[in-house]
């Protein structure tokens, strides 16, 4: 990614340093070693998926069967004191035409707890940190934490992944516990790196737009947990403005409000998750030529998981996304914006199975039946008139994490 | 019929014996804490809480996810499944917000590590603790 280029050298240096530290710890006596292990840690993951679609391109040339979905990450963290921690992760992500697998600095931050006692904790994080957004955004590239092979696209669009992925800035957090009730608030302020995926999604790719963050992104999440996570509920928001230029209109900006409401209930082997996204988009400037694109995007998914035993899990998910919440099948938007109706929505069913033979290894297989193409990337499907409305998606994934 | 009935009852009671096999929460003797609430215990084992009330670091020791003792511990003392606890760790490990507990291979290693690491907390089968460890009770 062009926005990260300068960080590559720095991250390479960091990896060497981590490796050296790992070697140094080998010589310590057992007791000290245990203590040190719980302060300095290195973790990582390797994920490879196979994607096959009957029509349309998703994560590579999937009509012919694609292996272009691969994620590699390694991180290190050092807890200098119980209240002060530094952590960094580098990530290489290949996702078809959307991400090319170049090495990015995923996060690099210091975390300082200002105040802590039996039931409360207050602190801040400085640097590049992952945005806590919905239940899954902050670890969306880690297969071991994802709710399936792909993120539910109704909430966590891969085509605009970078818009809310991480922030260069500050994050404030506070959590408090009353008996079985836990409240956590995170406030985020910083610059979010914008990339070509975002540019090609918010303005017709034919206009060859260029975008940059106008000022800082503000966001946050309020999370409530009952009984150690039996019930979880969250409200997340990110507010940002993108400055945009095109090859046709005068410059303008795009104001985006991104809201997600999340809830989850866990009981015995069952887990039920529902997340809803609401996103008003306002095009300003562009000599008013883009006003017709003003819209409110929405989407939701509902997922039920059943744990068969300690190694196996089944799930099913239904997702729906709409470009305009008042025009669910694209009938009205299609004649105005000149792309087929199917480009304005998606509805899909997914069935999946998860097998975790060891703590480190996970395998998944999934099948989805899809109507609509809204979450397909314009970078992978350049001509919206050549996509198909009805398509199926089959995928396999193997992931190793340590 | 009678045989089947008794076999069923016997099976059932065996199940209960299995489930009732208790777990002791153990700490390094230098930890001054006397009791822990269930939610504090969850915060510690989900790696959200990193220091004892006196400010010293907490070192958390666990057995593997597939170990029976670990399963009993998460179920009985935390009210969670091992895979749920692991997801909680993973969410923190891969977002840079927290760290993983230290994994030990056996109960013997658990005994040794908890006894030798100041600020350590772990768990053992009932009655397995020794003079170098202290058990800590959970208040409801």
CB contact under 8 A, B57 and A182: no
Interface test with A, best of B41, B74, B95 (most A CBs within 10 A): B95
What CA dihedral angle connects A138, A281, A96 and A316, to 10 degrees? 60
Q: How far is CA A312 from the centre of its chain?
A: 25
Beta bridge partners, A184, equal A175, A223
- The ipTM is 0.87
What is the residue whose two structure tokens read 């069935």? A351
pLDDT at A233: 98
Burial environment of residue A326 by CB neighbours within 10 A (0 to 12, 13 to 18, 19 or more): exposed
**Secondary structure (3-state) at B41:** helix
Show the tokens assigned to A230. Answer: 């039996």
Instruction: Tell me how crowded residue A334 is: count the other CB atoms within 10 A of its CB.
Output: 17
Q: Which of B40, B95, B100 sits opposite A41 (nearest CB)?
A: B100
Instruction: Tell me how crowded residue A272 is: count the other CB atoms within 10 A of its CB.
Output: 13
**Could you tell me the pLDDT band of residue A206, with boundaries at 50, 70 and 90?**
confident
**Could you tell me the pLDDT band of residue A214, with boundaries at 50, 70 and 90?**
confident
- E strand or H helix that includes residue A107: strand A99-116
**For B9-56, how does the pLDDT look when each residue is reduced to its tens digit (9 = 90+)?**
555 444 444 445 689 999 999 998 889 998 899 999 999 999 998 889
Nearest-Cα residue of chain B relative to residue A178:
B39
Nearest-Cα residue of chain B relative to residue A171:
B97
Q: Tell whether the model's pLDDT for residue A38 goes beyond 70.
A: no
What gap in Å lies between CA A354 and CA A396, rounded to an integer?
10
Orientation angle between helical segments B107-116 and A30-37, nearest 10 degrees: 90
pLDDT at A147: 96
Show the tokens assigned to A314. Answer: 């089944």
> What's the CA angle centered on A117, arms A112 and A118, to 5 degrees?
135
First to last CA, chain A: 26
B79: left (phi over 0), alpha (psi -120 to 50) or beta: left
**Could you tell me the pLDDT band of residue A30, with boundaries at 50, 70 and 90?**
very low
Interface test with A, best of B50, B96, B101, B115 (most A CBs within 10 A): B96
**For A132-172, how does the pLDDT look when each residue is reduced to its tens digit (9 = 90+)?**
999 999 999 999 999 999 999 999 988 888 888 999 999 99
pLDDT at B46: 94
Backbone angles phi, psi at A209, to 5 degrees: -75, 155
- Which among A59, A228, A124 is positioned nearest to B85, based on CA atoms? A228
What gap in Å lies between CA A113 and CA A82, rounded to an integer?
8
Nearest-Cα residue of chain B relative to residue A143:
B90
Q: Which of B42, B59, B93 sits opposite A228 (nearest CB)?
A: B42
CB within 8 Å of A45: residues ≥ 6 apart: A71, A72, A73, A142, A143, A144, A399, A400, A401, A402, B94
What gap in Å lies between CA A170 and CA B140, rounded to an integer?
38
**Secondary structure (3-state) at B85:** helix
pLDDT at B2: 53
| Nearest CA distance, A179 vs chain B (angstrom) | 7
Q: Beta strand pairing status for A120-130 and A99-116? A: antiparallel
Q: Which of A43, A79, A144 sits opposite B50 (nearest CB)?
A: A79
Q: How far is CA A242 from the centre of its chain?
A: 19
Measured CA distances, B114 to A189, B81, B124, B126, B129 (Å): 41, 23, 10, 16, 10
What is the residue whose two structure tokens read 């996970």? A362
- How many CB pairs below 8 A link A and B? 126
Q: How far is CA A117 from the centre of its chain?
A: 32
Residues in B closer than 8 angstroms to A89, CB to CB, are 94, 96
What is the residue whose two structure tokens read 């059943």? A306
**Could you tell me the pLDDT band of residue A176, with boundaries at 50, 70 and 90?**
very high
Beta bridge partners, A356, equal none
User: Which DSSP category does B37 fall into?
Assistant: E
What gap in Å lies between CA B96 and CA A21, rounded to an integer?
18
**For A241-280, how does the pLDDT look when each residue is reduced to its tens digit (9 = 90+)?**
999 999 888 999 999 999 999 999 999 899 999 999 999 9
Residues in A closer than 8 angstroms to B80, CB to CB, are 228-229
Contact A223, A232 (CB under 8 A): yes
Q: Which of B82, B94, B102 sits opposite A310 (nearest CB)?
A: B82
**For B116-129, how does the pLDDT look when each residue is reduced to its tens digit (9 = 90+)?**
999 999 999 988 77
Show the tokens assigned to A235. Answer: 């409200």
């Amino acid at each position: 990614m062009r926005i990260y280029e300068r960080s590559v050298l720095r991250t390479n240096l960091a990896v060497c340093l981590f490796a050296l530290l790992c070697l140094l710890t080998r010589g310590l006596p057992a007791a000290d070693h245990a203590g040190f292990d719980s302060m300095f840690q290195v973790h990582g993951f390797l994920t490879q998926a196979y994607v096959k679609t009957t029509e349309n391109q998703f994560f590579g040339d999937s009509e012919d069967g694609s292996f272009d979905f691969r994620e590699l990450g390694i991180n290190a963290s050092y807890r200098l004191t119980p209240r002060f921690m530094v952590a960094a992760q580098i990530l290489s992500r290949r996702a078809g035409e959307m991400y090319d697998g170049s090495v990015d600095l995923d996060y690099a931050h210091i975390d300082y707890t200002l105040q802590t006692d039996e039931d409360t904790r207050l602190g801040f994080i400085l640097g590049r940190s992952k945005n806590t957004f919905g239940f899954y955004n902050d670890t969306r590239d880690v297969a071991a934490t994802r709710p399936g092979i792909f993120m539910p696209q109704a909430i966590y669009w891969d085509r605009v992944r970078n818009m809310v992925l991480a922030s260069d800035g500050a994050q404030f957090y506070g959590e408090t516990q009353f008996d079985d009730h836990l409240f956590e608030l995170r406030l985020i302020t910083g610059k979010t790196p914008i990339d070509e995926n975002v540019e090609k999604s918010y303005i017709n790719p034919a206009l060859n737009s260029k975008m940059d963050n106008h000022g800082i992104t503000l966001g946050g999440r309020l999370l409530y947990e009952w009984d150690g996570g039996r019930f979880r509920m969250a409200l997340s928001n990110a507010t940002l403005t993108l400055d945009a230029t095109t090859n046709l209109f005068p410059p303008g900006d795009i104001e985006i409000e991104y809201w997600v409401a999340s809830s989850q209930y866990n009981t015995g082997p069952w887990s039920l998750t529902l997340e809803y996204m609401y996103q008003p988009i306002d095009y300003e400037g562009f000599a008013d030529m883009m006003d017709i694109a003003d819209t409110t995007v929405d989407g939701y998914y509902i997922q039920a998981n059943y744990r068969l035993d300690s190694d196996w899990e089944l799930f099913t998910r239904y997702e729906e996304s709409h470009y305009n919440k008042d025009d669910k099948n694209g009938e009205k938007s299609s004649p105005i914006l000149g792309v087929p109706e199917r480009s304005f929505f998606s509805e899909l069913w997914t069935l999946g199975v998860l097998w975790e033979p060891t703590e480190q290894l996970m395998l998944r297989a999934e099948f989805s039946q899809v109507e609509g193409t809204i979450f397909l990337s314009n970078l992978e499907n350049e001509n919206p008139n050549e996509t198909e409305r009805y398509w199926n998606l089959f995928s396999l994934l193997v992931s190793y994490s340590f | 019929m009678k045989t089947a009935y008794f076999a069923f009852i016997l099976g059932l009671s065996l199940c209960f014996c299995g489930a009732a096999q208790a777990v002791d929460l153990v700490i390094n003797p230098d930890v001054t804490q006397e009791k822990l609430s269930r939610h504090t215990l969850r915060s510690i084992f989900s790696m959200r809480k990193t220091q004892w009330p006196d400010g010293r670091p907490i070192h958390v020791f666990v057995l593997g996810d597939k170990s029976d003792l670990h399963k009993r511990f998460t179920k009985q003392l935390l009210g969670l499944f091992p895979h749920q606890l692991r997801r909680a760790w993973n969410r923190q490990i891969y977002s840079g917000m927290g760290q993983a507990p230290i994994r030990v291979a056996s109960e013997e290693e658990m005994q040794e590590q908890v006894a030798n690491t100041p600020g350590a907390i772990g768990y053992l089968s009932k009655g397995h603790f020794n003079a170098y460890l202290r058990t800590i009770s959970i208040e409801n």
